[in-house]
Amino acid sequence: MLSETCCREISGAHIYVDVPNFNALATEVEGEDYRRVVQAVHLYQREVSRIVEQSDLFDALRVHFQGPKLHALIYRPIDDSATIAGRALLLQIVIRDFVRRVFNPEFPSLPNIAVAGGADIGKAIGTQDGMKGDRELLFLGRPANYAAKIIGPAWEMRVTARLYDALPEALQELCQELKDEVYVLGALAGDEVEELAAEFDVAWDAEASRARIQEDKRTFPLKDIRYSEAEALIDLDSLGIKNNKRVSAASLFADVDKFTAYIDAAKTTGQKKTALRVLHAIRKEMAAVVKHDFDGLRIQYQGDRVQALFHLPKDDGGKIINKTVEVAAALQSSMELCIKRLLPEAGSLGLALGLDIDITLVSKLGIRGDRDRICIGTAVQKAAETQEACHSLEIGTTARANALLSDDSAGQFTLDKERGIYIATGLTVEKMERLAKAAAYRSGSPVFVSSALAGVAVRPNKVANEREVFPARSYCA
């Protein structure tokens, strides 16, 4: 059993399969069709979970869904990297086949969805966070990180050179080298997929899958699928296939930059423990800032990053995005001014953040204790991409989010033409406070001074018994 204090180094193949166009559907579709989208999302993920977990199929570990993106781990048979690599490639093949031959025909009124995947093999440290029904599996290390990074355009299933090298020769022939260290899977006909699966003891049967999808559609008919807006903070535990939220919300991703290299550099058990202790401290602090300081929703830990959502006040994009920038600055402050002081071993790390705002589907997948909180929408995808383009100490926004920022906040962001995003570097809460005060000074308004042994506070607004000061016009001889 994995836990925060019981972590294991697990050798296996990490597989990610994304459905990028679910994001567009979850944002752009409205009305009755939105219920179809919600039903499709849930049924896709139910069936993909079965493909991953069922003992006659892959008997693998579904780590979680990151929105529409599956993260799975194949680690059995232990110490048989050829079979593990083969089954990892095969899982991508089967999911692609399932979407083409089963899923898209079963949802004819929706645009066809397309999948894209990536897989890598190697050792990663497994840990678990959270409590009771809120537990989340986490894998840290190169294969868990790199597999997601190599995902390419729709329908491309990619594997790293490490995984390719571990493949049996028959499967290597199905792949072509795409670029340095990355191979791409070629096309396969439906019957070829089933034959190949059988060779690896995977009982993939498209018709059986179709029957399961049809049964799911009967169990969860369109009329039972509901979605609504949210006036108050969403209770994530109340969500499920029959209760979903469609909200205008800002997505925020906060990533511990260079953490993968940091943990991979840890060679001894002691160093690894230190690295994990640092990560747990950072993650808990990030979650506390989001949940307790800013009344936000902590959606998911994804390895060394945290995903959060802000949707209040309802339909007020300006306030939502400005608050999200404040949260991002607070996370930077927390990392730079608190965590690094308390945990000097975190000194080389820093946070990279990305945010965006748009219509987002918020729900929970699965049943009872085995449930993933998910957010799907273009803003989620763009926020994640923006974060991935950022480095330590940077906060990135899309043009859409930047256009909604207040003048003071927008002034902190500059367009990086190369990356196509707006970046603020070193933006902390302290800095934001100072910028707000700069505006007060510029306006010629009085400021208010209070002083005590602990220090001096100069505020733009009167709070209690401060002394009023009209700032003098400074000069230098």
Partner 1 sequence: MKYFRHAPTAPKQWYEGDRGVRLDADRALLARHYPSLKFVVDDSEKRVKIIGTLCLASDCGVSTPVAVEIRLPRDYPSSEPLAYDAERLFRPAPGKIIEDRHICSNGQFCLWLPPNSRWSTDDPQALLPFLDELSVFLDRQLIYDETGEWPGPHYDHGPHGYRQFIVEQLHGDVDLFLKLRPVIAGEVAVGRNEICLCGSGIKFKRCHAGAVAAIQRRVGLDKVKAACRN
Question: CA of 119: how far to CAs of 52, 268, 437, in Å?
Answer: 14, 27, 50
Nearer to partner 1, 81 or 333 (CB): 333
Q: Cβ(73)–Cβ(61) under 8 Å?
A: yes
Nearer to partner 1, 418 or 475 (CB): 475
User: Interface mask (CB under 8 A) for partner 1, residues 393-432, using x and -?
Assistant: -----------------------------------xxxx-
Nearer to partner 1, 131 or 456 (CB): 456
Q: Cβ(428)–Cβ(329) under 8 Å?
A: yes
Figure out which of the listed residues 33, 342, 451, 462 binds partner 1, where binding follows CB under 8 A: 451
For the chain, what is the radius of gyration of the CA atoms? 24
Figure out which of the listed residues 337, 342, 367, 399 binds partner 1, where binding follows CB under 8 A: 337
For 449, the 3-state DSSP assignment is: strand
Q: Cβ(290)–Cβ(308) under 8 Å?
A: yes
What is the smallest separation between the CB atom of 394 and partner 1, expressed in angstroms? 16
Q: Cβ(413)–Cβ(78) under 8 Å?
A: no
At which residue do the structure tokens 């800095």 appear? Answer: 431
What is the smallest separation between the CB atom of 38 and partner 1, expressed in angstroms? 40
Q: Which amino acid is at 283?
A: R
The contacts of residue 137 (CB under 8 Å, 6+ apart) are 2, 61, 63, 64, 126, 127, 128
What is the smallest separation between the CB atom of 428 and partner 1, expressed in angstroms? 8
Q: Cβ(302)–Cβ(66) under 8 Å?
A: yes
Q: Binding to partner 1 (CB under 8 A): which residues in 205-234? A: none
State how far the Cα of 234 lies from the Cα of 244, in Å rounded to an integer.
10
Figure out which of the listed residues 83, 300, 333, 397 binds partner 1, where binding follows CB under 8 A: 333
Segment interacting with partner 1, rule: CB under 8 A, options 26-34, 146-154, 375-383, 436-444: 436-444
State how far the Cα of 447 lies from the Cα of 209, in Å rounded to an integer.
68
Packing angle between helix 206-219 and helix 81-98, nearest 10 degrees? Answer: 60
Figure out which of the listed residues 131, 187, 232, 453 binds partner 1, where binding follows CB under 8 A: 453
Question: CA of 15: how far to CAs of 63, 158, 159, 257, in Å?
Answer: 10, 10, 9, 22
Figure out which of the listed residues 222, 288, 367, 469 binds partner 1, where binding follows CB under 8 A: 469
**Residue 227, token pair as written in the block:** 């979605």
Q: Look at strands 116-129 and 136-140 and give their pairing.
A: antiparallel
What is the smallest separation between the CB atom of 468 and partner 1, expressed in angstroms? 9
Q: In this structure, how many other beta carbons lie within 10 angstroms of the beta carbon of residue 39?
A: 21
For 216, the 3-state DSSP assignment is: helix
Question: Per rule CB under 8 A, is residue 51 in the interface with partner 1?
Answer: no
Segment interacting with partner 1, rule: CB under 8 A, options 190-198, 239-247, 375-383, 454-462: 454-462
Segment interacting with partner 1, rule: CB under 8 A, options 95-103, 154-162, 314-322, 464-472: 464-472
Figure out which of the listed residues 252, 276, 289, 447 binds partner 1, where binding follows CB under 8 A: 447
Question: Per rule CB under 8 A, is residue 294 in the interface with partner 1?
Answer: no
Figure out which of the listed residues 273, 318, 438, 462 binds partner 1, where binding follows CB under 8 A: 438
Question: Per rule CB under 8 A, is residue 449 in the interface with partner 1?
Answer: yes
Nearer to partner 1, 53 or 293 (CB): 293
Nearer to partner 1, 228 or 445 (CB): 445
Figure out which of the listed residues 8, 292, 434, 462 binds partner 1, where binding follows CB under 8 A: 434
What is the smallest separation between the CB atom of 456 and partner 1, expressed in angstroms? 5
Closest listed residue to residue 447, CA positions, set 475, 471, 473: 471
What is the smallest separation between the CB atom of 476 and partner 1, expressed in angstroms? 4
State how far the Cα of 233 lies from the Cα of 240, in Å rounded to an integer.
16
Nearer to partner 1, 131 or 476 (CB): 476
Figure out which of the listed residues 269, 452, 464, 465 binds partner 1, where binding follows CB under 8 A: 452
Question: Per rule CB under 8 A, is residue 465 in the interface with partner 1?
Answer: no
Question: Per rule CB under 8 A, is residue 187 in the interface with partner 1?
Answer: no
Figure out which of the listed residues 131, 189, 232, 477 binds partner 1, where binding follows CB under 8 A: 477
Figure out which of the listed residues 208, 273, 457, 462 binds partner 1, where binding follows CB under 8 A: 457
For 471, the 3-state DSSP assignment is: coil
For 189, the 3-state DSSP assignment is: coil
Question: Per rule CB under 8 A, is residue 464 in the interface with partner 1?
Answer: no
Question: Per rule CB under 8 A, is residue 184 in the interface with partner 1?
Answer: no
**Residue 319, token pair as written in the block:** 């306030």
What is the smallest separation between the CB atom of 473 and partner 1, expressed in angstroms? 5
Q: What is the 3-state secondary structure (H, E, C) of 408-438?
A: HHHCCCEEECCCCEEEEECCCHHHHHHHHHH
The contacts of residue 334 (CB under 8 Å, 6+ apart) are 285, 286, 289
- Per CB under 8 A, residues contacting partner 1 are 330, 333, 337, 428-431, 433-435, 437-438, 441-442, 444, 447, 449, 451-459, 467, 469, 471-477
